[in-house]
Amino acid sequence: MYDYGTFSFESKSEVLARAKTFWNPDKTRFWIDSGVDLVIDRREGYFLWDMSSRRLIDMHLNGGTYNLGHRNPEVMEAISQGMAHFDIGNHHFPSVARTALAQRLVETAPPSISKVAFGSGGGEAIDIALKSARHATGRRKIISIIKAYHGHTGLAVATGDDRFAKLFLADRPDEFIQVPFGDIDAMEHALARGDVAAVIMETIPATYGFPLPPPGYLEATKQLTERYGALYIADEVQTGLMRTGEMWAITKHGIDPDIIVTGKGLSGGMYPITAVLLSDRAARWLDEDGFGHISTFGGAELGCVAGVKTLEITTRPEVRSMVHYIADLFADGLRRVQADHPDWLVGIRQNGVVIGLEFDHPEGAKFVMRELYENGVWAIFSTLDPRVLQFKPGILLGRDLCEDVLDRLEVAVGRAEAAARAGASR
Amino acid sequence: MSGYLLERVRWAAAAYADYDRPTVAAIVAAASAAACTASERLAAAAVAETRMGVAADKAERNRACALAKQDDFVSPRIDASRKVVALPRPAGVVVAHVPATDPVAAVYSTVLSALMTRNAAVVVPDPRAASCITEAAELLAGAAVNAGAPDGIVQVTEEPLTADVEVTHSPGNVPVLVDATADISAAARRIADSKAFDNSLLPTSESVLIAEGAIADALRTAIGDCGGRLLDEDEVRRLRGYLFPDGHLKAEAVGRDAAWIADQAGLRVAPKTRVLVAPLDLVISEEPLAHATPAPVLGMVTAADADRGIRAARAVVRIGGPAHAAVVHSENPGVVADFAAHLPVRQVAVNAGGNSLDAELSPHQLLTWTRIAYAADAPMPSFADVSPWRSPTGPVPAYPRASNDPETSR
């Protein structure tokens, strides 16, 4: 008997059966077939527990949602206190919580940023960013990279991979242009006609397996947007919030973007809220028609409370220093693992604790994911490049747990290599 | 809430624990040099902030505590005859509660000891001296990191926290015995100098003087010649009333000079008076002047002979709690040995002032030794050129550059 207060289940198999019946049969089946029969029960810090009570170290973090660990005590306390006063709030009115979070976000951002608009999910925030760019430029076209992933809402999904756009007939190739990542000539060719509203780019494209931008690529892209009158939108949903050792990864490139999009870890994984950080140029619609984008849950006040606390924690000098230590330890440890498996772990893509591990097999990361799962670590393959494992340490990890994870990874990488070479692909 | 200060400092401590001898020596030398340079400035800042003590004395003490300590607490120690190699291992994180009475020197001493032994240090300042303590700690932290120490190796926090080793700098009740064989005038001078030094703020400053009866009068006269002022019964009563109005030491009197205290207590003393000597009948717990007083006020009792004097000294330590040190003035090694054997203290100074003692923690307290032992009948290879420690070549941690950054020299 699993009693969760407002509901209960007899067993894990009952949950899986009902998930297929009432929720998402394909997704439920997919994970069972993948050898990851996970139904997350308890969670705390960087640990998850399956309903079977098996403990997993979370190196997925839902793309940084759990940057500060699961149920971070300081964030929980802030929300608990907040609940004594706030609810979602009324989105039409100025609000203490939204104003406070907006101000703090602007204060953390590069100097180009002056205003904040809020959403409730990443896709909505991307849509706001794209709409802001269209309003600012009076142009429709949006450039993204091939294999981009910016979410699943109306405009966001059109920027991304066909797999998700075409499924719902949401692809719009006339307005949404895709160029190969890292190809600055293709970028210029797409921009040169002067009819592009914005280039949108994850600073390191997560779902594509964290390929690192070639040196100078983002800088050159930013210059091209300036030359051709387009806006530069930095999607920092996975790379922001200190994951690269700085608050926003884009500042490590010396770029002052026109728009920054953030979400996921913004509220410590405790309340859905996202934000679009806008420059004066991108924020013009907020002066012209402040009701231009309406979202009942966007900028919900409890989410803002969680966001203010999360930002406060994330920007502590101690935390920044820890991220550098964690990144340094993993850099050394991963090189060690690679040295043992040079023909299997063929690439380490790392910037801070944004890490992609590239394996020499079209679905290499799925083998490693499975072996890691067997070894008590949860890390996920990259949806749009399953050769690459997304390997995402939290920013508050202690050294002991980092060493523990590396020990487990070393074993899993070796076993996955044997399994893949034996042709045990499913 | 620690704010992740402790978590960060643990990362730093773990990194530093592997450093090799030359880098540790360079880090200690750099921190020591920075400390030396700031000795006088921070002494003045401490007096200005706390209104306690004497700037010149504090500067002298700061310089002493800042001196580069070049003892090696990093290299393995090899005992070939016993076939043992001992590896020094740092305790980890040293938390130092730094008092307002001796702020800068205590920071210098603790932080340098921690750095010598490859520990991290967290300095918790007394709020009354928070700014000079913080400045001193940050000065040493900056110098250490610039010389290659890990980021965050020295931290300051006002939040209470515990770690691997806790260092407190509480005043101890220090007895000083002068026996019949002592050089009386030298003893008197050393006691007066020590008691007057920094207005008696050092934890090793003498609390109670015990004079063997045969020389008590001579000693009183000699101390009088050195700036001591012997109080009469009525003056002792007034001094006690001023210093301990409700049984506890009046905070404003801490670290003030003898003339100022005498004036506040309504006693008439010469302006050059450096120490107020208060004769007491007995060393008993209810006598406040028999306890450590961080001011130039010295209790004094007489004992019929050296044995009784040693028992009185034991009483001083017994009623005062854990003591740092005790002092004896004697030309008789038998008395010195008896004194040292019967007093539960770590250090005994002979024919010297209490202020000459090292009140601070010893680096040995910040280490453990892992012993590598070979079987008695097996040969032990040479460890002469073996060291398990390695120092990094760049900043620790390395700045997180992208792994495809051409600047990444990995």
pLDDT digits (tens, 9 = 90+) for A356-404: 999 999 999 999 999 999 999 999 999 999 999 999 999 999 999 999 9
For the cut 90, the answer to whether the pLDDT of residue A426 exceeds it is no
Q: What is the largest CA-CA distance in chain A?
A: 64
Which of A328, A348, A398 lies nearest to residue B7, judging by beta carbons?
A398
Q: How many whole angstroms from its chain centre is CA A265?
A: 8
Q: Is the pLDDT of residue B3 over 90?
A: no
Confidence of residue B406 (pLDDT cuts 50, 70, 90): confident
Contact of B3 with chain A, judged by CB distance below 8 Å, is answered with: yes
pLDDT grade, residue B2 (50/70/90)?
A: low
Gap between the Cα atoms of B59 and B39, Å rounded: 5
**Would you say B175 and B142 are in contact if contact means Cβ atoms under 8 Å apart?**
no
Q: Which residues of B touch A321 (CB under 8 A)?
A: 8, 11, 151-152, 397
Å between B137 CA and nearest CA of chain A: 16
Mutate to test the interface with B, among A81, A181, A328, A354 (most CBs of B within 10 A): A328
Question: Across the interface, do B8 and A322 touch by the CB < 8 Å criterion?
Answer: yes
State residue B359's pLDDT score.
62
Kindly report whether the global pTM for this prediction surpasses the value 0.80: yes
Interface of B with A in 138-177 (CB under 8 A): 151-152
Residue B116, pLDDT > 90, answer yes
Partner-chain contact A327 B400, CB within 8 Å: yes
> Chain A, 385-404: which have a CB under 8 Å from a chain B CB?
396, 398-399
Which pLDDT band, with edges at 50, 70 and 90, does A114 fall under? Answer: very high
Of the residues A246, A324, A335, the best mutation for testing chain B's interface (the one with the most B CB atoms within 10 Å of its CB) is A324
- Spatial contact of A141 and A197, defined as CB atoms under 8 Å apart: yes
| A267-321 residue pLDDT tens | 999 999 999 999 999 999 999 999 999 999 999 999 999 999 999 999 999 999 9
The answer to whether B399 contacts chain A (CB < 8 Å) is yes
Which chain A residues are within 8 Å of B403, Cβ to Cβ? 212, 331, 348-351
Q: Which of B211, B185, B351 is nearest to B279 (CA)?
A: B211
What are the tens digits of pLDDT across the range A267-276? Answer: 999 999 999 9
Convert A22-53 to b/e letters by CB count within 10 Å (16 or more is b): eeeeeebeeeeeeebbbbebebebbbbbbbee
The pLDDT of residue B360 is 64
Contact A328 B404 (CB under 8 A): no
Is 50 exceeded by the pLDDT of residue A425? Answer: no
pLDDT confidence of residue B363: 85
Answer yes or no: are the C-beta atoms of B53 and B205 closer than 8 Å: no
pLDDT above 90 for A239: yes
Contact: B7, A328; criterion CB under 8 Å: no
Lowest mean pLDDT among A86-100, A412-426, B96-110, B185-199: A412-426
Is the Cβ–Cβ distance between A360 and A344 less than 8 Å? yes
DSSP character for A281?
Answer: T
Which residue in A244, A319, A353 is closest to B4 by CB distance? A319
Tens-digit pLDDT profile for residues A129-156: 999 999 999 999 999 999 999 999 999 9
Interface of B with A in 275-304 (CB under 8 A): none
Is pLDDT at B1 greater than 50 in this prediction?
A: no
Nearest to A324 among B10, B397, B406 (CB): B397
pLDDT at B272 over 60: yes
Mind telling me how many Å the CA of A354 is from chain B's nearest CA?
A: 9
Choose among B15, B397, B405: nearest Cβ to A215.
B405
Share of chain B above pLDDT 90, in %: 80
Q: Give A154: exposed, middle or buried? Use CB within 10 Å, 0-12, 13-18, 19+.
A: middle
Q: Which of residues 220-249 of A touch B (CB under 8 A)?
A: 244-245
> Per the CB < 8 Å rule, is B400 touching A325?
no
Cβ neighbours of residue A357 under 8 Å, at least 6 residues apart? Answer: A334, A345, A347, A348, A349, A365, A368, A388, A389, A391
ipTM of the complex: 0.90
Question: Which two three-digit tokens encode residue B98?
Answer: 């730094």
Asked if the Cβ–Cβ distance from B8 to A398 is below 8 Å, we say no
Q: What is the pLDDT of residue B409?
A: 52
**At B37, which helix (H) or strand (E)?**
helix B21-37
Name every residue whose Cβ is closer than 8 Å to that of residue A371 and which is 6 or more positions away in sequence: A411, A412, A413, A415, A416, A419
B62 has pLDDT over 60: yes
Band (B364; pLDDT cuts 50, 70, 90)? confident
pLDDT, averaged across chain A: 97
Largest distance between two CA atoms of chain B: 84
Most confidently predicted of A156-170, B34-48, B275-289: B34-48
- Give tens-digit pLDDT for B311-340: 999 999 999 876 778 999 999 999 999 999
How far apart CA B199 and CA B211 sit, in angstroms, is: 22
